[in-house]
């Protein structure tokens, strides 16, 4: 039960952070889902950092890992929104924008995970 509460607390924080990013006055009206894109890349970076820390600094604290990876990142990242928005772009016939969105999200998301792990390995 404690694990569920830890995940719930992290999930609430991640969801609120996601909501606040959605309120930022950026990218409105340009056709590219900038806010979801940023959340996905930042979320990938955070989960990469959390995974690296879990292996080194948090190995004795599985609840901290749950809080970060499952809770915060699970509440913050928005791949369901990503899929919905990509489908919307495709439905509108905005194929180049949809393709760019998918490619950049996946490539930069994976790169952010590796960058975070590299940084964590260098610092810790």
Is there a binding annotation on residue 86? no
Helix (H) or strand (E) holding 88: helix 79-91
What's the DSSP call for residue 93? T
* Contact of 43 with 76, CB cutoff 8 Å: yes
Is there a binding annotation on residue 74? yes
Residue 63, classified by CB atoms within 10 Å of its CB into exposed (0-12), middle (13-18) or buried (19+), is middle
For the annotated binding site, the residues are 74, 77
Q: Specify binding-site residues for Na(+).
A: 74, 77
């Amino acid at each position: 039960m404690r694990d569920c509460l830890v995940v719930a607390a992290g999930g609430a924080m991640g969801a609120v952070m996601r909501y606040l990013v959605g309120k930022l006055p950026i990218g409105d009206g340009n056709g590219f889902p900038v806010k979801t894109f940023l959340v996905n890349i930042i979320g990938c970076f955070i989960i990469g950092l959390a995974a690296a820390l879990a292996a080194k600094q948090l190995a004795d604290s599985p609840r901290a890992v749950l809080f970060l990876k499952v809770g915060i990142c699970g509440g913050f990242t928005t791949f369901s929104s990503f899929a919905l928005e990509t489908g919307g772009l495709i439905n509108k016939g905005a194929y180049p924008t949809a393709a760019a969105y998918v490619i950049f999200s996946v490539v930069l998301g994976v790169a952010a995970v590796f960058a975070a792990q590299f940084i964590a390995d260098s610092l810790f």
